[in-house]
Amino acid sequence: MAMYEIYSHPSLIRYKTSIFTKATVFLLIVVALTYIPPLLVAYRSHGFWLKINTYEEQPNVRFQYQVLMIVGTSTSGDFVAWSTFENFNNLQGDNLRFPLVTAMEEDQNQDGKMDRLNFRLELPLQTSEQVYSVQFILTFSYQLFRMSTFIMQCMAYTYFSSSIAGSQLSVNGDLKLHQREPLRHKGLDTRYNVSIFNDNSPFASAFDLAQIISSYQDRNVTTIFTNQYPVWTVGRAADAPFVFNAVIRYPVEVITYPF
Ligand SMILES: *[C@@H]1O[C@H](CO)[C@@H](O)[C@H](O)[C@H]1NC(C)=O
Ligand SMILES: *[C@@H]1O[C@H](CO)[C@@H](O)[C@H](O)[C@H]1NC(C)=O
């Protein structure tokens, strides 16, 4: 005999208990396990599918009080030079000239991190000397803390030359981070905490600018002194020094890092 459905209804069964029972505790644990572990995994893995992400941080930059200067004093190759390295100065012979240097770092927003360096150098010159070109290297220590602790020694390089003799060069720019690879997202990274100058070396090759820049550029993480806007002032009084003014800003960086 064929059967057919004449009516149906779902039935709801309620299991009730008072609040302070093992069943309530069990239920709470199950609910917590349903939501919290996936959240933690998603958060701690910094995203499941992203390969590279960015964060913002103002680096902790400090001027290391290391300077190297080469100033061209004629159009036929005469120069004067000075650095904070004894070995370099010993190599200069008659071309060594001691300038007057003042450097001051400023923390403008009082957040405990320096925001800029004001650097001024006055180079005494003989009446017969004129300045046609200027090369400077200043070195810095550079630290990031937010993701990995990244510590390096880096430099700002500036070069200017003119066919008209000058009395003053002013540059005002940013010390920008340049990354050829993402930084790590945790741990301590001191790969590039190495000196720019091999200042213990008595050989001239240790202070060859092309060599210094070449080994610096081999690094995957460097800084560039950029947006410099050089201003060249001409017309120097006979006994006045040549003045080099630099404002080097330490801007907030957008840093890339991998997952
Ligand atoms: C520099 O980065 C490249 C990839 O961008 C990598 O292959 C190389 O190993 C890195 N060098 C150092 C010294 O980390
Ligand atoms: C980085 O280098 C400086 C100078 O060589 C040194 O004093 C400092 O301890 C180094 N920092 C780390 C974390 O290795």
What pLDDT sits at residue 85? Answer: 93
21 within ligand 1 shell (Cβ under 6 A) = no
pLDDT digits (tens, 9 = 90+) for 7-44: 999 999 998 888 899 999 999 999 999 999 988 887 77
One domain, residues 180 and 225: yes
Length of the chain: 259
- The answer on 143 and 245 residing in a single domain is yes
Q: Are residues 31 and 85 in the same domain?
A: no
Would 1 be classed as within a structural domain? no
How many angstroms does the Cα of residue 180 sit away from the middle of ligand 1? Answer: 8
Atom of ligand 2 nearest to the CA of 151: 13
Of 61, 91, 55, 74, the C-alpha closest to 205 is: 91
pTM metric for this prediction: 0.80
- Among residues 53, 52, 88, the alpha carbon closest in space to that of 69 is found at 88
- Asked if residue 77 and residue 36 are part of one domain, the reply reads no
- The residue whose CB lies within 8 Å of the most ligand 2 atoms, and thus the one to mutate among 61, 151, 199, is 151
Q: Are residues 63 and 37 in the same domain?
A: no
Q: How far is it, in rounded angstroms, from Cα 219 to Cα 182?
A: 13
Residue 190: CB within 6 Å of ligand 2? yes
Helix (H) / strand (E) element for 4: namely none
Average pLDDT over residues 98-110: 95
pLDDT digits (tens, 9 = 90+) for 211-230: 999 999 999 999 999 988 99
Q: Is the CB of 193 under 6 A from ligand 2?
A: yes
Decide: 194 in ligand 2 pocket, CB within 6 A. Answer: no
Question: Within this chain, do residues 40 and 69 fall inside the same structural domain, yes or no?
Answer: no
Section 78-107 average pLDDT:
94
DSSP E strands in the chain: the ranges are 52-57, 60-72, 79-83, 100-106, 116-123, 131-144, 149-179, 188-189, 221-226, 231-234, 242-249, 253-258
CA of 181 to the centre of ligand 1 (A): 7
CA–centroid distance, 190 to ligand 2, in Å, is: 8
Asked if residue 230 and residue 251 are part of one domain, the reply reads yes
Same domain, 41 and 162: no
Judgement on whether residues 127 and 249 belong to the same structural domain of the protein: yes
H or E element: which one contains 48? none
Amino acid identity, position 228: Q
- Residue range 68-90: average pLDDT? 93
> Are the C-beta atoms of 155 and 137 separated by less than 8 Å?
yes
Q: Whose CA is nearest to atom 3 of ligand 2?
A: 193
Q: Is residue 3 part of a domain?
A: no
* CA–CA dist 247, 174 (Å, integer): 8
36 falls within a domain: yes
pLDDT tens per residue across span 131-186? 999 999 999 999 999 999 999 999 999 999 999 999 999 999 999 999 999 999 88
Say what the pLDDT of residue 203 is: 85
CA of 151 to the centre of ligand 2 (A): 8
CA dist 215 and 4 (Å) reads: 88
d(CA 144, CA 146): 6
Tell whether 36 and 147 lie within a shared domain.
no
* One-letter amino acid for residue 242 of the chain: F
- Whole-angstrom Cα distance, residue 82 to residue 136? 10
Domain of 42, in residue numbers: 22-49
Check whether residue 83 and residue 211 sit in a common domain: yes
Sorting pLDDT into bands at 50, 70 and 90, what band is 49? low
Per-residue pLDDT tens for 186-219? 899 999 999 999 888 888 888 899 999 999 999 9
State if residue 215 touches ligand 1 by the CB under 6 angstroms criterion.
no
Domain count, the chain: 2
Pairing of strands 221-226, 149-179: antiparallel
The answer to whether residue 2 sits within a structural domain is no
Ligand nearest to the CA of 64: 2
How far is residue 224's CA from residue 201's CA, in Å, rounded to a whole number?
25
Q: Do the domain assignments include residue 183?
A: yes
CB 52 near ligand 1, within 6 Å: no
Question: Is 17 inside a domain boundary?
Answer: no
| Cα–chain center distance at 214 | 18
Give the SS3 label for residue 126: coil
Q: Where are the alpha helices (DSSP H) in the chain?
A: 22-44, 86-92, 209-217
Let me know if residue 121 belongs to a domain. Answer: yes
Contact present, 175 and 140 (Cβ < 8 Å)? yes
Residues 189 and 234 in one domain: yes
